[in-house]
Structure 1
Amino acid sequence: MKKTVVSTLGLMLMTSSLYAGVCSDKLKYDFTFYGAEDKSYVVTKNTFKTATSNFPSEKLLNATLNIDAMSIDTHADMSNLKAQWPAAMATVRDNNIKNSFFKLFEKDAGKVDVKIVKVEASSMDVEFTMNGVSKVIPFSYKTEGDTIKATGKLDILAFGVDKAWKQLSAIAKSFHHGKSWSEIDVNFQVPASCK
Structure 2
Amino acid sequence: PTDVADPAQCRALLARAAAACGRVDILVNNAGVGLAGPVAELDVPDLERALAVDLLGPLRLCQAAVPIMRRQGRGQIINVSSVLAEQTLPYLGGYAAAKAALERMSEALRMELRGAGVAVSVLRPGTTRTEFSRSRLGRGSERRRVAPRGVPPEAVALALLRVARREPRLAYVTLGDRLSLLAARLAPGLVEAALARAIGWDGG
Q: Above 0.5 in TM-score?
A: no
Which structure has the greater CA radius of gyration?
1
Structure with the largest fraction of strand: 1
Structure with the largest fraction of helix: 2
TM-score by length of 2: 0.29
TM-score by length of 1: 0.30
